[in-house]
Structure 1
Amino acid sequence: MKWRVNVWTWITKEMFYDVIPKHCYALLDSAHNYLVSRGYINFGVVPAIKDRIPAEPSKPSVIIIGAGLAGLAAARQLMLFGFKVTVLEGRKRAGGRVYSKKMEGGNKVAAADLGGSVLTGTLGNPLGILARQLSCTLHKVRDKCPLYRVDGKPVDQDLDHKVETAYNLLLEKASKLRQLMGEVSQDVSLGAALETFRQDYEDAVNEEEMSLFNWHLANLEYANAGLISKLSLAFWDQDDPFDMGGDHCFLPGGNGKLVHALSENVPILYEKIVHTIRYGTDGVQVGAGAQVFEGDMVLCTVPLGVLKGGSIKFMPELPQRKLDGIKRLGFGLLNKVAMLFPYVFWGTDLDTFGHLTDNSSSRGEFFLFYSYATVAGGPLLLALVAGEAAHKFETMPPTDAVTKVLQILKGIYEPQGIEVPEPIQTVCTRWGSDPFSLGSYSNVAVGSSGDDYDILAESVGDGRLFFAGEATNRRYPATMHGAFLSGLREAANIVHHAKARTMSLKIEKKPSKSTHYYASVLDDLFREPDLEFGSFSIIFARKSSDLESPAILRVTFCGPQTRNHDGIRPGRHLSNKLLFQQLQSQFNNQHELHVYTLLSKQQALDLREVRGGNEMRLNFLSEKLGVKLVGRKGLGPSVDSIIASVKAERGRRKPGTLKTGVMKSKDTTLRRKIVRKAKVVSGGNRTTSFPASSSRIKAVGSSTTTIPLTNLDLEPKPVCAIGSAASPSLNVRVNDDMESKSVGSSVHLLHNASIGDKFEGNFGSSTAPLLNVGGNTGSNSDGPMYPRNTYDDSTDTCVPPITGNLASQHTSGDGDMESMMLDGECRM
């Protein structure tokens, strides 16, 4: 069943039980929860959805600032999920910048959309779904749009086509120019580029053609609610690839229908002007007038203009990253004059028509008219004011504005013998002066980029303060559906943070026995990881070659650190380097800190290939893979099944035919023989020297194996673990009855190792551990990589690494490596 085919129903997972295998029911549950929580299905205003809102909320409280489309979308979703919601709205009405004004006079009534008016695309548009749920048939905005000259005469269609073609050509040239300029184009305006190319044509065009060209520029400024002189050449159209498909439409009766339906039964407190938002670990406090509202979380949906204006004080102050994003993004202006007439004198066969001006500075003044006669319920006409003219319009007396509009209309229609009557009622907008908006909608200004939309969308205060609105939606900014979708997005984020916080509290209050058990098992498994490089260790969940199978990554921070020995170019990814050093410093007094995350096998292999050391890998995890490192508890209970399966799988592995008693005796013999060779040279920078002659270290799964170690001096000094790659010296641990030492190189035998067990050696300097010891796992020039048992899928048997070279390596600061190969072969 496709929900978007029947948006009046509630889709349950049980509806799909008979079409999927039973072993996939768990996946169905996850998929259904994902789609519902993120607003892909089961959202809207129909009874099947409204009836599921619980009468008594049982989940944390959320304060939503602003009752626009973003705030209302989030409110309804959160109420559906059982949250206690309070919406604070500064105006006397809901809707924000979506406002359908009822105009009436005599026996004429019409609804004028003074704010957002056009549904820009219907394919996939959630507002189109709301309209269907309300049984509203959308009206397609017809393509017909005649243009009229300054004197009121129609523009010749051939000339119109010629200028439009030239205009599009200039935009294409501007696009090519930014490609040639590269990053420099980020500091150049679209207007500057167009003006440069326009001058090439200036002598070849007449006055009427220039007026036509200026009309297209006015239309461009209308689309972006900004002056082209301030739009970024590099990114002004960054959202174009995500345009909704389908027709542009009007909603009959006005978009206020959507607002009315969305606000039904939502607890909205009007005329609550917010001036302070406090957020912290214990919750949030929102100050509005003399009142203070308390909650667990707060969602701020005020327009970008209000954030720029600084009328709301955040305590503590917002991160500088977000403040900079607010400053960089543009927030433009569009105004309208709405006029209700006694009758329709302009005809009902068109929805738009345009008017030219002879002055480029006023090109956006009443340049476009919207006819709402077929959708508003009465003879309604709207005149649009864009660009520089929209700013001048803010201080123009309403009577002067109406007089100018009527002069234009009379110049167009009276020569045709059509009388233009006096309007019954008129309304002039002042969105730039409105303290609750301070503008119309966002754009990408010079110096900004689409990244700033993402920055504005980021939550603050460890999941206490959230942001929504069209200026937080990178793909659909400056649109009504963009605002609505951002509300759905943040509702999902709030649910996620609330659930994580609740789970964390539950774990802290009452850790289960299974939690301790799986934590212990995980520690044991990481004693023998499948991959290890630098400070990173990885366990694969399955033995198959499926690259999408899960893997558990562990990053280890240990001991006081001076620098990382994987090597990194000075100054590169400084923030991640500082983060790494701060984490190291924070745990100087602890022996080790482990943090984890889940990856796919492919991601783990990609991480292994990253050059430049731990800092570069941390950067790869956060910037490329977008994952977060958490403590063991942060992995959640879902990882327990992976841990259990890995433990069971390793339990099935056969070490060979060695008898237990023999293994024990050989273990002791082998350990003593190897350690006797490991002479430690005293001094601050300890190293171990080995003869250059060839040695063959052979270990086979038999109790009768001999191990000639001709190059090793045998002295009873057992050595165990290879130290952390991030350590300036390598930590060496010995038996409980032996003294721990720090040496520059070591040989690592697994605990209670026998001849049949895996042998690992590190014959390197103190700057980096082992490069590679056999196996098919490859090598990493900037960090160690250890061989692990692999699997032969055809025989379902464990195949250990066979041969390999023992390498001594030195990694310099710039990532170059010098290595000396010792012909040491390890067999199992």
Structure 2
Amino acid sequence: KRFSGHAHAMGTVPDAEEVDRLDTDALNYRLLDTHERALRTDEQVASALGFSPFSLKDTEELFLPREIDIKGYCDVRNHVLTAWQREKWKGKVLTRSECARKISSRSVGLVNYAWAYLTTFGYINLGISEELRQTAGFSPIEPSRGTVVVIGAGLAGLACARHLTALGHPVVVLEGRHRPGGRVHTKVLSGTHEGREVQGAAELGGSVLYGGDYGPLVTLVDQMGGNRQVLNPNTVMYDWQGGKVSERIDGEAYGVYNAVEERLEAIGGTDEFQNLEDVSRGMAFEQQWQREFGGRSWDAAKRKPRGIELRDRLVNWQIAHLEFAHAQCVSELSLKHAEQDDNYNLKGDHFLVEGGNKTFVEGLAKDLNILYGHKVTEIEYSAETGVNVTAEVIPEENDKFEEREVVKFTQAIACVVTVPVGVLKRGVIEFKPPLTKRKQNAIDEIGFGVLNKCILLFPSRFWTEETFGFVNDGDWDEQRGCHFLFHSYEYVAGAPVLLALSSGKAARNFETQTKEEVKEKMMERLRLIYRKKNIVVPEPLAFETTNWGLDPFAYGCYSSLVVGSKGETCDVLREDLCRRVFFAGEATYKEYIATMHGAFLSGLRAAGIIHTLYSGYGEGQKAAFNDDENRRKVDACFSRPDLEFGCFKVRKGSGKFGDKALVQVRLPAEDNMSGPIHKMVVIPEAIVTELVNVDGNKEGIKYLVKTGRLKTKGEDKSHSQTILEFMDSLGDE
């Protein structure tokens, strides 16, 4: 857990019984025929890349025809993913014919669908090699010629803009800063020692690449021929007096922490709390701690002998690490939902990139139409006329009293908002019309906290470990996260660079101090540790500290699920407005929330959706598989809904239907051989207002059924004529 940027276990050693089971599985695998082995491998690759091997993503439901053989398609899709996984590091386009070579001739049509979907949504043929920069010639569909405005040049914005450009769309990126990368920022520190200049790269923002060979950012590094180093999984611990903590005591403390954590995981199935939605992880941890140790509270640790106190403070160090993982105080994290992404983790080693993450950030930004110093202040959107975006131009030498130029970008077909949640929470961008209550509630509910760093450049290396932890004394909550974890970035920096992390309340307090004060606290800890080793800690040649909570283009580091939010909150954040304004960023990707690869993948997803909707594919393409005239009317009617949320699309009525609305409901498939079921119903607008505020798809469907407006089973022919008249009144072609 100490090395995952999201506090997830690195794995466990199997016991004898588990080894026997694994041996049996291996024997059974060897007995499978070649075809079955290939299927097993393909399914494993699909799972590792975030797919369910046997069902569709929601974007596949948007893209594929309704009548597709889902089981056959999934088998073929999994195979195509495996083919790309083997070749992706080369930076070459994987063609349809290459995918089809080992597929039965009966499945060639499915290969075309799988290849088209995976290319459109960036799961294959993704990268920044020269060949992959222009995949428009390989795109299965013609792009719209209208401009897409991407707001923000962080990883989500760069991924979205790069992919839309590769697919043939005109794109302009508006970025308030005067650099790309957003919360991924590599800064070069420099100083002079004995007449020679010393320079080293420092990662001020996101730094670690997760997911081993399955990580999409790792793919970019490999295609560029970059070097990466596995992050050392061993942490040496030092106490507040600078003494090295024995492995025995450290192990005991880790065991205690895990014992309490296991209790927390079990609480979900009990009635210990009346409403788990209102319980923080911190509250539950303290309660379970006291039960584990006979009522002894946290504060009692200060009055115990040093051995027990040290163990307790080591447990407290683990909590500081949990707060680092979520950039949030444990007292605010949701007990029930904060770890909802555990099941989606990309498996594999964690890496640091030689030269820093600027290597792939600059590669993504290369040749894109990015306007730096353009801070977006207003987004005006309409289903009929498109999107107008207003921005103010910020000079590189920013004079806050200078009157700024205001520019407008009009009649874009769509825009993609990739700014951090912290910016949305502050209301920096005005939306016209205003955001829906559902969207605004999600912005208000999700957490967005702070993690800060202090980075020192030294004339030479004096530290003896790649990674080490410091156990703080002082106030139990306020101080535990102060410079609690140190990383050597010598490999990344190309020079002796040491980084210290601060989390929780300590990270927030960080921002009330001067840079010099923050640096001195880090130096105090280093002197304590190395004085006992008779090593003199030299003065740094240069240093940098972060203040992400005060950054006007971020107001924090990354998202978390605090009390009052859950995974579905991320789903609401990603919902578009009138199919004109789309949202991307790590907060919109619940499976990989708070990660760089989550931000990157969310940008690709937004690009794929726009390409599908604005190229005449998607819903319009599905109609070509059915000659029924009424089906064509339905597709035309809902190709530009007035409102879309969850599994619901809404068209507002006119004329005699002026106070009503037509709602299309996407129900889940009844089996793996059929696609999702779509039902329609005409209801009063007042019921739509209530429906928007219902929490989640399941509850929304239940609400419509309960009101007698929707039948989920069978065909309700009594409403068919009314629905047709409603669609005719809209005049859609």
Offset at residue 604 of structure 1 (A):
11
Q: Is the 8 A contact 1:136 1:251 kept in 2?
A: yes
2:338 counterpart of 1:236: yes
One-letter amino acid matched to 2:488: S
* Alignment match, 1:11: 94
Offset at residue 197 of structure 1 (A):
2.1
Offset at residue 121 of structure 1 (A):
2.5
Offset at residue 599 of structure 1 (A):
9.2
C-alpha distance in 2 between matches for 1:335 and 1:104: 21
* Alignment match, 1:350: 466
CA 1:493/1:589 → structure 2, altered by over 3 Å: closer, same or farther?
Answer: closer
Offset at residue 198 of structure 1 (A):
2.4
* Alignment match, 1:148: 238
CA 1:365/1:17 → structure 2, altered by over 3 Å: closer, same or farther?
Answer: closer
* Alignment match, 1:320: 437
Q: In structure 2, which of residues 210, 227, 241 is the aligned counterpart of residue 137 of structure 1?
A: 227
2:203 counterpart of 1:113: yes
SS in 2 for 1:222: helix
User: Over residues 742-780 of structure 1, what are the superposed CA-to-partner deviations in whole Å (9 max), with x where a residue is unaligned?
Assistant: xxxxxxxxxxxxxxxxxxxxxxxxxxxxxxxxxxxxxxx
User: Over residues 394-434 of structure 1, what are the superposed CA-to-partner deviations in whole Å (9 max), with x where a residue is unaligned?
Assistant: 01011111111111101100221101000000101010000
* Alignment match, 1:783: none
One-letter amino acid matched to 1:481: H
* Alignment match, 1:681: none
Q: Is the 8 A contact 1:57 1:84 kept in 2?
A: no
Q: Which has the higher contact order (CA 8 A, sep 6+)?
A: 2
C-alpha distance in 2 between matches for 1:225 and 1:23: 51
Show the 5 A alignment for 1:210-249: 210-249=312-351
Offset at residue 17 of structure 1 (A):
4.6
CA 1:22/1:155 → structure 2, altered by over 3 Å: closer, same or farther?
Answer: closer
* Alignment match, 1:479: 595
CA 1:228/1:585 → structure 2, altered by over 3 Å: closer, same or farther?
Answer: farther
2:156 counterpart of 1:40: no
2:168 counterpart of 1:82: yes
Q: In structure 2, which of residues 462, 487, 495 is the aligned counterpart of residue 370 of structure 1?
A: 487
C-alpha distance in 1 between matches for 2:667 and 2:332: 44
TM-score (norm 1): 0.63
* Alignment match, 1:423: 540
Offset at residue 177 of structure 1 (A):
2.0
* Alignment match, 2:184: 98
SS in 2 for 1:179: coil
C-alpha distance in 1 between matches for 2:581 and 2:388: 11
CA 1:607/1:263 → structure 2, altered by over 3 Å: closer, same or farther?
Answer: closer
User: Over residues 299-339 of structure 1, what are the superposed CA-to-partner deviations in whole Å (9 max), with x where a residue is unaligned?
Assistant: 00000000001111011101110100000000010000110
Q: In structure 2, which of residues 611, 615, 627 is the aligned counterpart of residue 495 of structure 1?
A: 611
One-letter amino acid matched to 1:177: I
One-letter amino acid matched to 1:60: G
SS in 1 for 2:348: coil
One-letter amino acid matched to 2:538: P
Show the 5 A alignment for 1:730-741: none
* Alignment match, 1:330: 447
User: Over residues 424-446 of structure 1, what are the superposed CA-to-partner deviations in whole Å (9 max), with x where a residue is unaligned?
Assistant: 00101010000000000000010
SS in 2 for 1:375: helix
C-alpha distance in 2 between matches for 1:447 and 1:480: 24
Offset at residue 159 of structure 1 (A):
1.1
One-letter amino acid matched to 2:186: S
CA 1:604/1:595 → structure 2, altered by over 3 Å: closer, same or farther?
Answer: farther
C-alpha distance in 2 between matches for 1:366 and 1:391: 12
Offset at residue 52 of structure 1 (A):
3.8
User: Over residues 139-179 of structure 1, what are the superposed CA-to-partner deviations in whole Å (9 max), with x where a residue is unaligned?
Assistant: 11112211111110111221111111111111111222233
C-alpha distance in 1 between matches for 2:453 and 2:180: 20
C-alpha distance in 1 between matches for 2:152 and 2:213: 27
Show the 5 A alignment for 1:510-521: 518-519=628-629
C-alpha distance in 1 between matches for 2:444 and 2:568: 13
5+ residue gaps in structure 2? 1-81, 393-405, 638-644, 702-714, 721-733
Offset at residue 383 of structure 1 (A):
0.9
Q: Is the 8 A contact 1:300 1:466 kept in 2?
A: yes
One-letter amino acid matched to 2:280: S
C-alpha distance in 2 between matches for 1:389 and 1:521: 59
CA 1:584/1:624 → structure 2, altered by over 3 Å: closer, same or farther?
Answer: farther
Show the 5 A alignment for 1:738-749: none
Q: Is the 8 A contact 2:216 2:597 kept in 1?
A: yes
2:570 counterpart of 1:468: no
CA 1:350/1:723 → structure 2, altered by over 3 Å: closer, same or farther?
Answer: closer
Instruction: Please tell me whether Structure 1 or Structure 2 has the larger radius of gyration of its CA atoms.
Output: 1
Greater share of helix: 2
User: Over residues 14-71 of structure 1, what are the superposed CA-to-partner deviations in whole Å (9 max), with x where a residue is unaligned?
Assistant: 2245444545333222111011011110011112212445799862210000000000
Quote the RMSD (CA, aligned, Å). Answer: 4.2
CA 1:588/1:83 → structure 2, altered by over 3 Å: closer, same or farther?
Answer: closer
TM-score (norm 2): 0.71
Show the 5 A alignment for 1:372-451: 372-451=489-568
Alignment: residue pair count: 572
SS in 2 for 1:244: coil
CA 1:582/1:375 → structure 2, altered by over 3 Å: closer, same or farther?
Answer: closer
C-alpha distance in 1 between matches for 2:518 and 2:231: 26
CA 1:605/1:20 → structure 2, altered by over 3 Å: closer, same or farther?
Answer: closer
C-alpha distance in 1 between matches for 2:650 and 2:160: 37
Q: Is the 8 A contact 1:4 1:129 kept in 2?
A: no
Show the 5 A alignment for 1:507-586: 518-519=628-629
C-alpha distance in 1 between matches for 2:473 and 2:164: 49
C-alpha distance in 2 between matches for 1:594 and 1:214: 51
2:414 counterpart of 1:311: no
Which region of structure 1 is more displaced relative to structure 2, 203-212 or 396-405? 203-212
Show the 5 A alignment for 1:164-313: 164-181=254-271, 184-200=275-291, 201=293, 202=296, 206-280=308-382, 281-289=384-392, 290-294=406-410, 295-313=412-430
